[in-house]
Chains A and B, each alone.
Chain A
């Protein structure tokens, strides 16, 4: 019965209709047709709406079943974080009402999106998303930190604000996203905004139930056709892709202005709540890990946490219990390691690395996009990378302390208390739901029996028969009204909890904000100081560069040099390695990473096209600005393919066994001029011998 009614809406009005109908039937002297009608109504009404679901969930996420544990197989690029876990941590007061409004308007679930944003229960649920996301994001952080090298996973809590355009926006509360990273992982634990649906099938994060919303993204340059999105919850895919596209636009705009700019994007969940930006990209199911350029889709699932873990949460040592680990976080972390193994880390991190290096060495920054074998470049890069490593290691201390403060501190203890209280509430409601279902079953049985009795008797009933029939009907009515009453009580239990929890939510939000703010303030002050010290040290050890990066003219394949190049230049034109941006007359924007001559792409290169509909990339050799030879083509919804190009025209499949030349591959780097560094440039006399000569 439960499964039959699984997707049906529960409506209490059915019960009052049922009661009225039965009363009417009885008062009319149990006229057979009317009674039969009432019985039928009773049966169908109960069957349709009388049974309650018991807030069930899956014990193990699809995240776990579609992957297996694996270790990191790639070297970590120096100074680069492998994963940054982003989550909503706080809402500014000015943004609260907008957040409630958008939360009640843009919903994930089966119900209609029309809830009263001012209702306390809606607001409590909205607030609890923030609190729970804060807590459960740490579970994912912990699992990732266990699997990945030390200092390579960072936390990035976001503050939700009201933007100038009146829309919601989110900003990182720490510096974690200022460093280059390979993957950004957004995490939110979602709850449907209607407390009445708590026991139904709507997404819920309450007690032992968690509905994770996630997105895993790299920089768009590592996954051009999907705007960098690799895996995401279904409702977030188009929003996440829109954020990736916005990032690409910002990057192009900065490059056109001769800057290596750095911007962080809103949390995908916030973009979803705004409901404004959306970019369609190809999708594939979660278990498809092949070469198809499409986003792996994680369907919404309500995860039921480990029962034993839930029961021990409140006990001493509850902080050592992670109820989300087995059912979700562990599998999710394995997924992320798998994604890291299949991600082109150099492409994913190159933009962030160049931006970070530009903060202290602009001459070197753009050169790092492609790299070089020039000894002077390698010598200088080694210093820059070590400096970035130091900054990353430093910021990871902040992440570890945030984890410690939130998970192991009072905040974590409060959330665990809250989860335990919610679990108790939910269990109570589950118990009531089972009672309600039992009562409903009795009502149905009674009604069916009464119906059968009525149909089998003729009009000449004996007194005994009439009394027995009335008792049957009265029993059915009682059972029905009892089911209704239990249901009301179950709802009241949920409502009572949500209504009373509001001050505690406020308290927890305030603790969380104090904690992050204090951590960030302390870190920022010291970080600035550290950066100054490191940059001074870097400047003192500055090595000569044979070639420095500057800005000059660049074109795609026309004579007019309207584009901008950052990298090696000669006579005011792009010559050597770097990045160039330009725009075609039809509005298509093009960015090119590779080698150039006389202001045009020439040699190995990676060209990304952004037109109105999609983004795609070609990688291989360019001559006079045009693709020439075997090129690797990346398009949405298709696997990467090797094609042969002639003077910019795709002329067919590439010969079997051929290979596209990548500008990022050391094997194919053009020969560099090696500048001999004489000893007089390098030498310094150790003091030992200086003293000897005195």
Chain B
């Protein structure tokens, strides 16, 4: 929630975009034949899902597994992404992103936006990209082409819209394909932006887990939409669709575990520091009550007794000499 709220605020600053549902409906989708009851059911499901809470304020534990370390992410973001061939295209789209107004606060939504865009493309192998292209064409035949200059936030909002998800899965696929395409084509620029933002404020990565969850949510919508379109049973596109769905389970597991670890790390740190403090205080208290003189007294006593022994020995020696010299 924090991430998207911040995004929304910053987007509003950068370019006034209405994000309420009325505005969202004012997309080409408003003419779609959707049954109201069905929509309500979907919304109810979403509300139930929302009850699963995630901490909005956390710090990433060092031991947590960043999703960027998963094979999927590495494969896509480093090896398979084609360097941006069109500088103009990338710059034009990115100009719609939240802007840096010189304040530190403005960096947060900017970072979140870039990272979310990057994370959305995770798991999109070349084979899967072909699948997306295939279903995107189907969508374009029915709903028209998505304008290249459509603001990214509008695209994201359309994907997350439950009405569209239910009524026009092709459009969801097309929108996601548009996002993935942008992320892949402009990967170099996105990466550069993220690096410069984190160099300026390393704490920005603290929100990565939430951003990953958001990206995963969108990827999950894509997977479900493809499934609804029958892609997982398609002889050509089925394998890549299934593989993508499987990778989402792994990603979900990793995110949930990272969230578990974050919570556990917090508890662990709290209890360990509490225990350490208590034990240190207790040790100090006990130490302050120790009577160090007992040992000193014992040693003094032993020394006195030794002196007495020494005297006794000398007397003994004198007696012995006396006896010897006096002929026993």
Contact = CB atoms under 8 A, between A and B. Distances in A.
Interface of A: 23, 26-27, 379, 382-383, 386-387, 390, 393-394, 397-398, 401, 404-405, 409-411, 413-414, 417-418, 421, 425, 428, 474, 477-478, 481-482, 485-486, 488-489, 492-493, 496-497, 499-504, 507-508, 511, 514-515, 518-519, 522-523, 526, 529-530, 533-534, 537, 541, 677, 679, 682-693
Interface in B285-328: 286-287, 290-292, 294-299, 301-302, 305-306, 309-310, 312-313, 316-317, 320-321, 324-325, 328
Contacts of A692: 4, 19, 157, 160
24 contacts: A23-B328, A27-B328, A386-B261, A397-B272, A482-B317, A489-B313, A493-B309, A496-B305, A503-B297, A504-B295, A507-B295, A522-B275, A522-B282, A526-B275, A533-B271, A679-B223, A685-B217, A686-B54, A686-B217, A690-B1, A690-B49, A691-B5, A692-B4, A693-B162
A478 B321 contact: yes
B81 to A, nearest CB: 24
Contacts of A413: 292
A518 B285 CA distance: 10
Contacts of B286: 405, 409-410, 511, 514-515, 518
Given A410-B287, A690-B50, A394 B268 contact: yes
Contacts of B59: none
Nearest to A421: B299
Interface of B is mostly: helix
Contacts of B261: 386
Interface string B244-268: 0100110011001100110110011
A383 B263 CA distance: 12
Contact of B309 (A489, A511, A683): A489
Given A401-B280, A537-B264, A541-B260, A682 B249 contact: yes
A401 B283 contact: yes
Contacts, number: 222
A500 to B, nearest CB: 4
Given A405-B279, A418-B295, A541-B256, A393 B272 contact: yes
Given A394-B268, A478-B324, A683-B49, A428 B306 contact: yes
Contacts of A507: 290-291, 294-295
A394 B272 CA distance: 6
Contacts of A522: 275, 278-279, 282
Interface in B175-211: 210
B46 interface: yes
Contact of B252 (A497, A537, A541, A679): A679
B87 interface: no
B82 interface: no
Interface size class of B (residues with CB under 8 A): 35 or more
B276 interface: yes
A500 B305 contact: yes
Contact of B298 (A393, A409, A500, A688): A500
Interface string B21-64: 00000000000000000000001001101101110100000000
Given A409-B286, A500-B299, A682-B249, A404 B292 contact: no
Contacts of A486: 313
Contacts of B305: 492, 496, 499-500
A688 B267 contact: no
A383 B257 contact: yes
Given A413-B292, A414-B295, A478-B324, A689 B279 contact: no
Given A394-B268, A679-B245, A504 B283 contact: no
Given A489-B313, A541-B260, A686-B210, A26 B328 contact: yes
B287 A405 contact: yes
